[in-house]
Amino acid sequence: MMSFWFPFVLLAIIVVSAAIGIIGFILVCNAGRDTTPEPPEPPQLAPVERCGKGHPMTDENVYAYPSGRRVCRTCDRERRGRKAGNHAAV
Ligand SMILES: [Zn+2]
């Protein structure tokens, strides 16, 4: 009787062992994945300061008065342009 069931018992043990091994492998993989630190975010550039009209207040676009007041060159140009235009129109 034992000799008849022995191969099946052996097979069952092998299958169960394999299943436990696979499950363990998956669990280990998942655990490893969970503990893996996320790739560092690319360094965030400092948010570009913007003027009241939304122009980027970059070094090239900002005029700093000696008093420390900073003005948007684009706005300044538009203001001048509008003034000139008004003058021309008037
Ligand atoms: Zn501006």
In the chain, where the domains are located: 1-37, 59-89
CA 61 to ligand 1 centroid distance, Å: 8
Residues 6+ apart with CB under 8 A from 41: none
CA 17 to ligand 1 centroid distance, Å: 70
Distance CA 18, CA 20 (A): 5
| Residue 41: pLDDT over 90 | no
CA 49 to ligand 1 centroid distance, Å: 10
Cβ atoms of 74 and 58 within 8 Å: the answer is no
CA torsion through residues 5, 11, 17, 20, sign:
negative
| Residue 44: pLDDT over 80 | no
17, 24, 27, 36, 43 from 30: Cα distances, Å: 20, 10, 5, 10, 28
Query: Could you report the per-residue pLDDT of 51-88, keeping only the tens digit for each?
Result: 999 999 999 999 999 999 999 999 999 999 987 765 55
pLDDT score recorded for residue 60:
93
